[in-house]
Amino acid sequence: MNKPLVAVVGRPNVGKSTFFNRIVGQRLSIVEDTPGVTRDRIYADGEWQRYAFTLVDTGGIEIKSDEELFQDMRMQAEIAIDNAQVILFFVDGRQGVTSSDHDVADMLRRAGKPVILVVNKIDGPSNDAIYDFYDLGMGDPMPISAAQGLGIGDLLDAMVAYFPDPDELEEEDEAIHIAVVGRPNVGKSSLVNMILNEKRSIVSDIAGTTRDAIDTPFERNGKKYVIIDTAGIRRKAKIEDASIERYSVIRSLMAIRRCDVALILIDGREYATEQDVKIAGLVHEEGKPSVVLVNKWDLVDKETGTLEQHRKRVMNNLSFMNYVPTLYISAKTGQRVNRVLEEADRVVENTRQRIPTGVLNDVINDAISVVEPPSDKGRRLKIYYATQVSTRPPTFVLFVNDPELMHFSYERYLENHLRKAFDFSGTPIRILKRQRNNKEDGGR
């Protein structure tokens, strides 16, 4: 799901991060990080009423400052603004209107995006302080106190009013959208150019050349595709905290969310690094099918068994997504690049498949007969019924006597059993548990 992006912007020290942290900490159906997948806490997913969204925290904007720190922070904010559907423009209600607020307002007007003017630090019932902010020409100011939580609900109501109605389904795009993701300088743009047979993206040995997600439609063998070349995601230790590349994560995240399949590139001269694992985890967390492409394989010294040993070490590091196929390629020479679209098509088909309910229950019952469900304190897990509720990714609901009795290891066992019975190569699958009362269970 490609959730609307909401950018929180303003000059320094107006309470943007306080607001962001309050939203993250509130019960707004915030999506937690997958265990083992560390994200920079510059964005968080949430829901308000029926609307899902992604909130992005930005550094303070000082338009006229020549300091490198503020220049970088301004560039970060511009990236968030470019990708945002709605902008929350924060100002300080205690300090009043400043020349910097006017500078930020001018910048936001040029962006041409919906802007909500948020007057923060209004801690009491009197709203007289907000009237001066009409001078910014950004519409009606909304008073809040991020620290005390005052006015947050009204602000969120105003924010989601700009979102599309979630009940209005978008028309199905017949083209397969392919996101090419990975660390900087692993050959993403070279791969895109080789697939397209033309130089659409800048290719350079300088890490971080591609900062935008570049969409290119094309056709191959009668099929329509859109390939998305994303900005490289660099390891945090290699980035200054205020660097523009910290925000490339946002662009890559949005590309992953709107893709049908992700191509995860890693450097064949290394095994899956910590940052490779985090990028793969982001794809897995979003429920997207994927193919791991080990690039620059032409530069690796090989002997008998090199490929299999390399594959084992890579998949050991990516053990949480051992369902993903690997393909060893060279984007520079074209080695096996002709198989990339073939693999992408295959995993897309797998994530879209629907299993008939009768067949599914036969497979689950077979799994139960082989390995008995776990028990705890005299109560044994009973699985009454299974059904598939959605695709992309395939999602199954198990009706059980008590979801708490479903141990993680048994859930993993059921997933592996499903994968043996059906071709789910390349796609994550989801297993949900729902309690169903059954008198025969006797309440035990």
Q: Which residue type, as a one-letter code, is found at position 27?
A: R
d(C-alpha 191, C-alpha 173), whole Å: 24
Distances (CA, A) of 413 to 365, 389, 406: 13, 20, 11
What residue has token string 């890559």?
252
Cβ contact 284:321 at 8 Å? yes
d(C-alpha 317, C-alpha 31), whole Å: 24
Q: Which residues are annotated as a binding site for GTP?
A: 10-17, 57-61, 120-123, 182-189, 229-233, 295-298
E-state strands within 58-101: 86-92
d(C-alpha 408, C-alpha 394), whole Å: 19
Distances (CA, A) of 105 to 25, 61, 118: 29, 11, 12
Could you report how far apart the first and last alpha carbons of the chain are, in Å?
Answer: 40
Helix (H) or strand (E) holding 32: none
Q: Which residues are annotated as a binding site?
A: 10-17, 57-61, 120-123, 182-189, 229-233, 295-298
Cβ contact 133:141 at 8 Å? yes
What lies within 8 Å, CB to CB, of 15 at 6+ separation is 90, 92, 120, 121, 146, 147
Instruction: Indicate the angle between helix axes 152-160 and 16-25, nearest 10 degrees.
Output: 90
Q: Which residue type, as a one-letter code, is found at position 235?
A: R
Q: Which residue type, as a one-letter code, is found at position 180?
A: V
